[in-house]
Every structure is written in structure tokens, then in C-alpha cells.
Amino acid sequence: MDKISDLKTIILKTLDNNKALDIVSIDLTDKSSIADHMIIASGTSSRHIQALSEQVLQKLKLNGLKHCKIEGSESNDWKLIDGIDVIIHIFNPEKRKFYELEKMWSELIPKEKVLI
């Protein structure tokens, strides 16, 4: 396995072990240059979302990604963890439904739009 697949597996396992809901992994290869994978999950409360984001950040740092950080620290209903090659969004279910990131990033994007 390559390092990115290993990292993705670690993140997915961390989210699952900490009771994240509706965990989805989206392959961004050939869709975006921002990352290779996007992982989206839901938490049950603002504390759960915060705890999930901190657990994921800790796992990233333990696996050599020292410059990762959590965005949305002031938000109670959304966190983004920038894992360089893997981006992790953790939402409350209402916000997740509103933004529909799974729908947006799961659709095929024509190659000419990827280059923009």
C-alpha cells in the first residue's frame, strides 16, 4: 500500500472507532489538485465534531504530517482538517445536507474544468 492509502485507512478507522456517522470517502484523483482524497463524516453534537477533528489531527501528526491544522475552530457545526493529500470534513447532519459535498465531488468533472 502507498502512504496516501495508508493515511486514508487510518483516518477512516479513527472516525469509525470514535462513532462518526455516515463516513464517505471520495477519490479526487483527476478531479482536483487540492488533494487525492476527501473524507466526509458527521458528528452528533458540537462536542462530538470537535473531538472527532482533534482525534483525526492527532493521528495525522503521529503519522508524520506535522503541519496539519483544523479550520473552522470557531464553528460548532463544521470542521475541516487539512491532511495535505487527504481533506477531512466533519459536519453536523443539517450542515452536511445543506452543502452536499458528496454530490458535488462525486460527479464526474470534464477534464477541461479540472485544469482551471
In the chain, % of residues over pLDDT 90: 66
CA distance 55 to 113: 35
CATH superfamily of 9-96: Beta Polymerase, domain 2 (3.30.460.10)
Give the separation between CA 116 and CA 111, rounded to whole angstroms. Answer: 9
pLDDT tens, residue by residue, 25-44: 999 887 788 888 999 999 99
Domain ranges of the chain: 9-96
Write down the pTM of the prediction: 0.87
Query: Residue 84: phi, psi to the nearest 5?
Result: 65, -75
pLDDT by residue (tens digit) across 46-69? Answer: 999 999 999 999 999 999 999 899
Instruction: Give DSSP secondary structure letters for 46-57.
Output: HHHHHHHHHHHH
